[in-house]
A and B are shown apart, each in its own frame.
Chain A
Amino acid sequence: MNESIVVNGVSKRFTMQYHRTLKQITIAAVRRQPLSETFLAVDDVSFTARQGEAIGLMGLNGSGKSTLLKLISGVMRPDGGTVLTRGRIAGLIAAGAGFHPQLTGRDNVFLNAAILGMSEAETKAKFDEIVDFASVGKFLDTPTGQYSSGMSARLGFAVAAFAESDIFLADEVLAVGDQPFKKKCLQRMAEIKAEGRTLFYVSHSPGSVRRMCDRALVLESGRLGFDGPVDDGIAYLKYDASDARPEDDEIGADI
């Protein structure tokens, strides 16, 4: 079996910096207060994803989902354990693209695609599809700093979704954006999955995870609490017991 993501005993520790200036550090030292406090955002997580697998990552806010995604994408490095991936990675982390606000939408598409490892020719070939998908229309040559949050999320998702990649990471893609766009996103992710790419999907919506994924991981304060079939994962989180309206369940409103 061809592994796509191998996460082995991975931990990530963050420092909560209470004292940043020399003055504050001195005062804290005199008062014998701790100089810094740390916590484990991701705590000894291990799992292996096969190429083409669609994994739904669930958990409450602050349970370490985005941190785990950043470790897999290479934006962060683990403090303990190892992360190994195979092939190109694209995706959207923590709802919102890495855009430069002074550049136009067009320039940001090219810059983002280049960072995702696409050549100029590859980007040009996909450009119309990306713009069409994001439907930013006449704002394509406006600096992205002036975009609404929904618009820049749409463009960010579109670049990542049409980039050449073997692993696709989607973090809370449905948290912003309107209903028609959410539908388009889910459709595009279904295509990505059908193409045989590894899909790593963070969501609070049990319905979309059920529809999209063949396996669920549940994080609980940084630890991997559950790894197995989607329905059992949702039951584990007790999300099913909630009285979410059916259309929320289907499309994925934030709970």
Chain B
Amino acid sequence: MATDLLEPRRPPDGPLEPPGDYGGLHNVFRERYLLRLLVKKELQARYQGSFLGLIWSYIQPLVRFLAYYLVIGYVLGLNRGVQNFALHIFAAMVMVHYFTETFSAGTRSIVRNKGLIQKLSMPREMFPVASMLVSAYHTLPQLVILFVAVFITGWDPTLADVAAGLLGFAIMATFGMALALLFSAANVFFRDFSNIVTTIGIFVTWSAPMIYPFDRIRKLAQGHEWVETLYLTNPIANGVLLFQQLFWIPTTDPTPADPTQDPIPLMPDYLLTRGLIVLAACLVILAFSQWVFSRLEGKFAERL
């Protein structure tokens, strides 16, 4: 064995290159094996020392949902007039939660992995991407709950609804990833950014039609169209509405048995077209974030 080791190796025939230059996000997805290990590591770290483990991913959203549903639906009485208000809330919650998880875990990912980043060279975009994938993994239990709920309620989505749902998810993933990338780099220089993210997270919950239906915004905007336009520039609101188009609208009844309820829930016009434009805009923001990230990452090792 020792004798084979002593045989001279074939010298490398590649070109001379600057070390540690990996060329950004698209190369992250090429290193799938490393990405898989990082995701596994994150999952292990999150449930370390936990007895219930992944079951927490079911308990927490259920409790959060119940809190919203009971307070908003019954205490504030918003479920009157809205069909299947529970599904309206839950579908939105899945998306909002996916976004805030990606954003906050992603922002902290670089600082949390400083042990690796200070010693080894790798595409650093790996860490926010891994956070985004971990968050996606955590939405799976919620999707299971959601699917069970819509099947019980009666669900007949069209192909366009399915497209809307996928588009909504794509918007959330892209936008969350873009902000995670940008803020993870900024957080290296000023740890204030993780607090900023928490602050934004508070706002996110209220910026999308989750605990209130979209028609409230339409009513508010009467005579001031710009209010609705402004509201609909928010990628999170678009992602949530598109997701509700798949998981809430197809469960509603055009001729409800309860006459106090609105027959057809109000959705914004041009939902899909706007969704595509928003996705394109999110991709531009992602490209910008990547550009900033690669400017800043050269200083990560010394500033961590």
Contact = CB atoms under 8 A, between A and B. Distances in A.
Contact of B121 (A3, A89, A166): A89
Interface string A108-151: 00111011100110000000000000000000000000000000
Interface in B266-304: 298-299, 301-302
A176 interface: no
A75 B115 contact: no
A75 B20 contact: yes
Interface string B221-234: 00000000000000
Nearest to B19: A74
Interface in B111-166: 113, 115-122
24 contacts: A2-B11, A3-B16, A6-B16, A73-B120, A74-B18, A75-B117, A75-B118, A77-B299, A83-B19, A85-B16, A86-B12, A86-B17, A99-B115, A102-B44, A102-B45, A102-B48, A107-B40, A107-B44, A111-B41, A112-B120, A120-B33, A194-B6, A195-B6, A196-B8
B298 A76 contact: yes
A187 B301 CA distance: 31
A166 B20 contact: no
Nearest to B2: A191
Contacts of B118: 75, 98
A100 interface: yes
Contact of A98 (B5, B19, B45, B115): B115
B37 interface: yes
Interface in B10-28: 11-12, 14-21
A39 to B, nearest CB: 12
Main secondary structure on A side of the interface with B: loop
A224 B19 CA distance: 21
Given A75-B120, A93-B119, A166 B302 contact: no
Interface of B: 2, 5-9, 11-12, 14-21, 31, 33-34, 37-38, 40-41, 44-45, 48, 113, 115-122, 298-299, 301-302
Contacts of A112: 120
A85 B115 contact: no
Contacts of B33: 114, 119-120
Nearest to A85: B19
Of the candidates B6, B34, B38, B45, the one having the most CB atoms from chain A within 10 angstroms of its own CB is B34
Of the candidates A2, A98, A116, A195, the one having the most CB atoms from chain B within 10 angstroms of its own CB is A98
Interface of A: 2-4, 6, 14, 51-52, 70, 72-77, 82-89, 93-94, 96-103, 107, 110-112, 114-116, 119-120, 166, 191, 194-197
A73 B20 contact: yes
Given A75-B120, A115-B116, A100 B17 contact: no
B41 A77 contact: no
A84 B14 CA distance: 12
Contact of A14 (B16, B119, B302): B302
B18 A82 contact: yes
B301 to A, nearest CB: 5
A184 to B, nearest CB: 13
A197 B2 CA distance: 16
B241 to A, nearest CB: 39
Contacts of A100: 41, 45, 113, 115-116
Contacts of B120: 73, 75, 93, 98, 112, 115-116
B18 A83 contact: yes
A119 B36 CA distance: 12
Of the candidates B7, B9, B120, the one having the most CB atoms from chain A within 10 angstroms of its own CB is B120
B256 to A, nearest CB: 52
A86 B16 CA distance: 5
A152 B102 CA distance: 32
